[in-house]
Structure formats: C-alpha cells, structure tokens
Chains A and B, each alone.
Chain A
C-alpha cells in the first residue's frame, strides 16, 4: 500500500462527487429534511422525537454511504475502470482506503449539518457531547460504505444495486432498537439483532444522546462496529479481482 495512491484515490472520489452537485446536495439536505419531518410528525409526542431524533442523526450516513458506494463501485466494475486499475500498480488497500477516506469526509460534513439542524434548530436535546454523535456517524458511514462495496459485487445492474438498500439497510433499522426496544421483539428477532452491526451503532448512539454516557460501554460498541467494517472491507477486497474469466 502507498499513502500517495490512497490519497490520490480519495481525491478522485471527492472530485467525482463534486462534479455531481445534485447528489452532494441530496446527501447533505435529505437527512436534515427527514429529521424535520420526524419532528413535526411526532408533534403530539415530543418524547418520541427526543428518543429517536438523536440516534437518527448517526444512522442517516449509514444509509446514504451504502447507496452512494454501491452505485459508485458498480460503475467502477461495469465501466472497465476497475479492470484498468487492477492492471496498474495500485494495491486493493489503496483503493478501499481511498474510498473510505473520501466517504468519511463526506459523512463528517453530513453528520455535522444534520447535528446543527437537529440540536440547534429543532430543539433536540442530547445528554452527551455532539462530537461523539458525529464520530459514531462517521463510523456508521464507513460501515455503510464497506457493506455497499461488498454487495456491489453481487449486482449486475444499477437497478439491482438500488434494491440491496431496502434488503440490507431496512431490516437493520427495524431490528436495531430504534423503533421498538429490542427486548420487546419476538425472541428470534432479538437474537438476530445481536448479529447485526447497526444494533451496536444504535446502542452507542442511544447511550450518548439519552444517557449522556461516553464510557467504556460506548467505545466497546464502537469497537464492534469497527470490527464489522474491517470484516466487510475484507470481504469486499476479495471481490476485487486482478484476473477475470
């Protein structure tokens, strides 16, 4: 691996996004918009908005980066640019690292904007520090990126890639405890939720926003998310082939 190639790749991914202003605008505007919608949908139940609002700030980047990466990577595969890169002196780690770096930056901006709107304009309260919410949001973005990268290998078209979003992301959001506490679910689902990375991300976010804890438990959850990122990246790396039939 070489830092020069990793940074070159990160810069390239950001340049591509910069040329696609509409996507960038959607990435930055849709989460605050949805959060505002939540705020007024739960106008009569402010305690519900207070409970889910904070964690949602950290969960949006997971969804956005999953989608953006699965399409971006699918394009690399179908346009021949991946094959070209694989015939050049670039390590797979440089490519993955470059994507990770670029999307971590985008996620940090996204989570900061969403946090400003949520905690500033919408009057949402967090017990713990906002930086911890942003940090967990960045980890979630990387998780979404790593999963998107891996699953893009199983999509032959952009239609298929888009369908992976509801298939992979929505079950995790349903099971992570955001909508219903996990102990109130049917027991098999509670077990299943223990196997899904977003569950740990939600636990960490809930600890920070509702309890105000940034102690070891939170960082253990973040560590589990980090482990899942590494695992998904390893699986994704295995789908980047130097030789194809």
Chain B
C-alpha cells in the first residue's frame, strides 16, 4: 500500500493470537501506524487481505468490536473530558455508567470537568484511550498509547492491558521504546516496512542469544 505516494509495507504476513497483548515495535517510520490502520480498516489497502475477528477488516459489524486509539489524541478540545466520553459512549451504544469507569481506568477523575484542550498532551492521550475502552471492544488497537506518560501510570496501564487480555480480549499495542517490549506476550518487530520477528520475547532472546530485547533487535537488524 502507499502513503504519501510512497510504497510501504511491501510484503507483510502476520497472525495475531486472540487473548494476548501483542507489542508492535520498531523505529518511527517503520510502518507500524500503517499496519495498525490496515487492521482497523481505515487504511486503503492496495493489495492483500486483512481478516479481523473472522471478518474483512473495516466491515461495518467490526465497528463495535474493534477499538482504535490513534497516535495523535482525537478528542474534541472544546468539550470537557466527561462530555467527550458521554458523546462517544452514545455513539458506541455503551451504557453511560461506562463513562465514569473509563475515566477512572485512565486516572482522570480529577480532570473530568476540564476542557480537553486545556489538558497536557499525556492527559489528552488518556482521554483518547478512555474513549476506546468505553465499548469494551474485543480487539483494542493502540498506537503508541504510553508516550509521554508518567512511569507509574504507564505501569498501571500495562497491568490493565493484561487484565483485559485475561478476559479474552486482544490488544495490539505499538511502541518505539524497547523497554515496553518485555511487557508483551507476543512481539512483532518491524523495520523499513518489513516484519523482522514475530514471537514471544523469551523465544526471541533465546534465538538471538542477546542479553536484552534492544540487543536482540540490533542483532536482527544487522543480520538483514
């Protein structure tokens, strides 16, 4: 497929296991966002097929079953946190009781009445994340959800991701920081639009004999 006239993801073949937290890692510009957009079904795909929860990506029925959080927080800056979530809950058909729960899940109770545009960047991305949590989707696609967050909140979010996975949900989380890789059940490493590895972190370390995942990525990148 192409973005901005440039051919990206020339050949990608990948299966993501349900009920896991899969990390999509790679430097920025490696094609992570394009791959995620293709899975959510908002990307025009030139060739190939993407199947999500048994249906073609972007099928109307999937719009309630897949939650997507873009890298740039997409919320209405001129409404409060709670107003944003109430609107999206009504669009999703989620019970309004989910609004306060989602606000708590991203630890924004103290900011609930504040206009989104007056929040810090990290807080705004948490509103964006809360929006995707509202409908309790079966597949949650998160594009760099933890950038710029406080380490304590980052840890709490990863704990929540695993709790969601334990209830049978599937999470696909992209990141460009390698220290988040070890928190994932499965890892997909990307570089220049290609998948250089797709396996659990333990197997990746064993296979490459590297001391940590950063070194494993380097070993794979240089072997190419």
Contact = CB atoms under 8 A, between A and B. Distances in A.
Interface in A68-101: 79-81, 83-90
B182 interface: no
B52 to A, nearest CB: 12
A16 interface: yes
Contact of A85 (B72, B79, B91): B91
B42 A87 contact: yes
Nearest to B74: A80
A243 B2 contact: no
B199 interface: no
Contact of B2 (A16, A242, A245): A245
A4 interface: yes
Interface string A39-82: 00000000000000000000000000000000000000001110
B68 interface: yes
Given A15-B83, A88-B91, A243 B74 contact: no
B44 interface: yes
A8 B93 CA distance: 11
B151 interface: no
Given A83-B42, A243-B44, A89 B83 contact: no
A243 B88 contact: no
A89 B70 contact: no
B18 interface: no
B74 A12 contact: no
Interface string B32-49: 000000001111100000
Name the residue among A8, A80, A88 with the largest chain B CB count within 10 angstroms. Answer: A88
B42 A19 contact: no
Contacts of A80: 70, 72-74
B88 A88 contact: yes
Interface in A221-245: 242-245
A8 B90 contact: yes
A5 interface: yes
Interface residues of A, number: 25
- Is chain B's interface secondary structure helix, strand, loop, or mixed overall? mixed
A4 B96 CA distance: 13
Interface stretch (B58-66, B103-111, B154-162, B164-172): B58-66
A245 B90 CA distance: 28
Nearest to A79: B74
Contact of A84 (B2, B64, B78, B131): B131
A12 B92 contact: no
Contacts of B41: 87, 242-243
A81 B77 CA distance: 10
Contacts of B58: 242-243
B4 to A, nearest CB: 8
Contact of B43 (A8, A81, A89, A243): A243
B79 A243 contact: no
A215 interface: no
Contact of B74 (A9, A19, A81): A81
Given A8-B90, A243-B58, A87 B68 contact: yes
Given A87-B41, A242-B58, 15 more contacts: A4-B93, A12-B76, A12-B83, A15-B83, A16-B79, A19-B79, A80-B70, A81-B76, A87-B68, A88-B64, A88-B88, A89-B60, A89-B64, A90-B91, A242-B42
The 9 tightest CB contacts between A and B, nearest first, are A80-B74, A8-B90, A89-B63, A12-B87, A84-B74, A16-B78, A243-B44, A90-B91, A19-B78
14 contacts: A5-B91, A9-B87, A12-B76, A15-B83, A16-B76, A79-B74, A79-B77, A80-B70, A81-B74, A81-B76, A83-B42, A87-B68, A88-B92, A89-B63
Interface of B: 2-3, 40-44, 58, 60, 63-64, 66, 68, 70, 72-79, 83, 87-88, 90-93, 115, 131
